A and B are shown apart, each in its own frame.
Chain A
């Protein structure tokens, strides 16, 4: 079986800086892949290249056998790739439901005419969509659907992160990219987030996930396989234990051990 996503020699350059250097990564259907690496090692650049926000200078990105290089971000999103961002990118003034509904926008069936004159069609569609959004939100927090028509800016940080994950899931992706979901969270909140990710796994067994994390407990808990980045290169790949024991990875995080006199 061929991989759902496969990059070959993926390279991103900013002027003279090579932010991503010939990266080969593959993800199978239903698999969760953890991505680790020090700050500035190219993890987020990797996501930005996959989702089409950055142009690849060289290499291939194959998603379900199709090459994504050169496609616009909105086209790639419609092919079944959804993501969250390290710093939340919700529209804080819009309602909780609206922030999830926008994930379903690309799958809408009603055209411009339905919006204005054949309104009943659109209203039926949007009612279904709101119901699905409520269902998704309730998976993570039972109280969220009741707050669906409140501006998302009124929610606490952890619920905002959940709304963002719901927005990504609302597009029914085959690949979900999570960019450091535990960023800025307390240990308790991170533990809740772990549970949330388990829920995603159980609800959508066929969904592949790539998760960037600095919290090693999260990585160990959710991922089946781990790759480590440093200076834009992939330096290790394998099980969490194998990667954690890798000398190059330890060096990247902790520095080289020097002989003491």
Chain B
């Protein structure tokens, strides 16, 4: 138990250090420490088995420790509003990634229109708050429903097709969505929708700077905690759905449609359910993004973001729920850390994915067999 908590504390310190290190020397030292830690857990077999057993046995402790770390992170990042924002973004990608992974990983519905469904959520929030004057929190709840509805109506005829065809149609959908948002009057064209009012819950506006344990936090910490709650809830719901009849049926129809049919599973219905549940969480992430940054515009939801969402799943492990969390927490902050590489960091990003697909296609945290707990 001590080992679990110790490992998690070390991890927390390393993450905070990696994020906050400013001078090249400090950054290099942290990088070296992280690499050394990774190498030790990978190649020192006694340590590896001891850690594996400890985390297996003290599952609950590990979860509580992880939650404590996530809650404490803004305190460590309090000096930097920017990194608090990036951490929040990573949490949004957890929510979006869980939704998308439920479609792609669990049900084999290759949806490459993640950006468009996030955009549907975001634009709905923009239109409802700015044009219709709705309160932000209500708009954030309605946004995902619009994503689900549009997805269901447009894609029912296409869900019967398999694999690549669906991928092609969804790619087309992202581009159509972008062209529409750029050209429609009521969505603000290329400028998008500005001045989306911030979230306000029970009279508490999210622009106030909170103080926790005497530490003044940036205003983005409000969004961080809201996004943390959202990501945790999403993960909890998706995990329960995955570890159930539904997850099992979707896995079966992904692996073998004919076998699934002969077990009484309706392929069209199964895919539609998975697609809708996934789109709900993708749309939720987009809607939250809109109230967090206060504006939406077409480039916020272009095809590149679909690929980022897909990469989160590939890095973490297709069909793996903890993998999505790991993938989002690696893929969103890392490119920010390497900003000094300018345009080359995108290249680095591509290299990482190619290397992953070649040498560890099951992802960093592969899915395990279902245990129904």
Contact = CB atoms under 8 A, between A and B. Distances in A.
Contacts of B255: 91-94
Given A90-B259, A94-B251, A151 B264 contact: no
A112 B246 contact: yes
A98 B370 contact: yes
B240 A116 contact: yes
Interface in B247-271: 248-249, 251-252, 255-256, 258-267
Interface string B263-282: 11111000000000000000
A106 B369 contact: no
B245 interface: yes
A123 B262 CA distance: 25
Of listed B246, B249, B252, B265, residue having the most chain A CB within 10 A:
B252
Interface residues of B, number: 27
Nearest to B371: A149
Contacts of B251: 91, 94, 98
B237 to A, nearest CB: 6
Contact of B252 (A82, A91, A112): A91
A73 B262 CA distance: 6
B244 interface: yes
B262 A51 contact: yes
A223 interface: no
Interface residue range, chain A: 35 or more
Contact of B264 (A85, A95, A101, A105): A105
A66 B287 CA distance: 50
Interface in A71-86: 72-75, 77-78, 82-83, 85
A130 interface: yes
A119 interface: yes
Contacts of B258: 53, 73, 85, 89
Of listed A52, A108, A127, residue having the most chain B CB within 10 A:
A108
Given A77-B261, A77-B263, A149-B369, 17 more contacts: A72-B261, A73-B261, A74-B262, A78-B264, A83-B262, A89-B256, A90-B256, A98-B369, A102-B248, A105-B265, A108-B245, A110-B244, A110-B245, A122-B244, A122-B245, A130-B372, A149-B371
Interface of B: 237, 240-241, 244-246, 248-249, 251-252, 255-256, 258-267, 369-373
25 contacts: A53-B258, A72-B261, A73-B258, A74-B263, A74-B266, A77-B264, A89-B258, A91-B255, A91-B256, A91-B259, A94-B255, A98-B248, A98-B251, A102-B248, A105-B245, A105-B263, A105-B264, A110-B245, A112-B246, A115-B241, A116-B240, A116-B241, A126-B244, A127-B372, A130-B372
The 8 closest A-B pairs by CB, nearest first: A106-B264, A91-B255, A73-B261, A89-B259, A95-B369, A77-B264, A115-B244, A78-B264
